[in-house]
Structure 1
């Protein structure tokens, strides 16, 4: 099977594979612990029974579905929809780090979670929780004891690793820190025999142009984040 099909519903392949211990499952459905990520995994041919299982796992919490859009049943409500462009890294990206990259980039851990959460709150790179760093390798740049930029791995499937949480404090932008960090994340992904990929909001033209400049290619513009919640009354 073409491994690129994992990217149609990456959360499905992540939670069934490398991230199985970061979530819970019921039948054909799974979700990450809320402290890790808001994402849930439904099979592409999700049935009414699968949606019921998702409801059992989610309770009254909202969850995010990531990938090819689903038809949401009437007894669920859609809280938000975000169209995303999915892009794949060029083969050499991150494999030739510069001296500046080696000197300034540090590996992060859960011990740095407070600093990571603070940076995420300041820059809004996407969902980030207390245990998000368990999803993969995270790297950051520290200056004068402050974490000023970071990036890491999010959805990780058997063959692919998503570059995510790419963010830099406004006071430190324009210095290429994001590119250095993305390269560090990519190098680690290649070392695990996984191809780096990423998602970017379809309206973020500036970011898309940057990634194209770095050699990333668009795989699809048809991915979507659907934030859904089961209706309290269970009716449409």
Structure 2
């Protein structure tokens, strides 16, 4: 999952980013509202954590801009504004959740996971495809109960494909999701990792098909055949 964190307190931003990265998520950080308005509209994120007291443009203004321009990413407001009226304004203004500062990091992580499940239409942290089961929370992939060892990038790509099993995932979306501003992840990198996963999953009952000109699709082996690279 790729998260946009908009927070102008450098220490808090760094601490939250590191905590979310430990969960295996890719985090991009911004510190002002004007930049956030633009970034939330032109880039692909799975979720945004948004402070309200931002320089240049207030967080509520950022949220209204996103929603007014059709950005549907889940938004969790993280703010020291703790009045009921503030919380109601945030939720009625388009936020999906509202967490008051100071907060406990485990609660923030749990709320993000809940928003992730809701967006994916899931009721728990498991993804199942054929005999493969991915525990998203603990980042463990198992085949008939036996753990399948993957690198962090392989794990993230597997989660992305399994969460959309049976549907095409555009290559550009994979690049965006698995990239961060500090570490580029190119279309060539996608092809390399897809090739690795195909080899790993060759005997595990799932295939990754290439939909030429669009992207990749993961499905149970019995429902289709794997295209050649």
**Which TM-score applies when normalising by structure 1?**
0.30
Tell which structure's C-alpha radius of gyration is larger. Answer: 2
More contact order relative to length (CA 8 Å, sep ≥ 6): 1
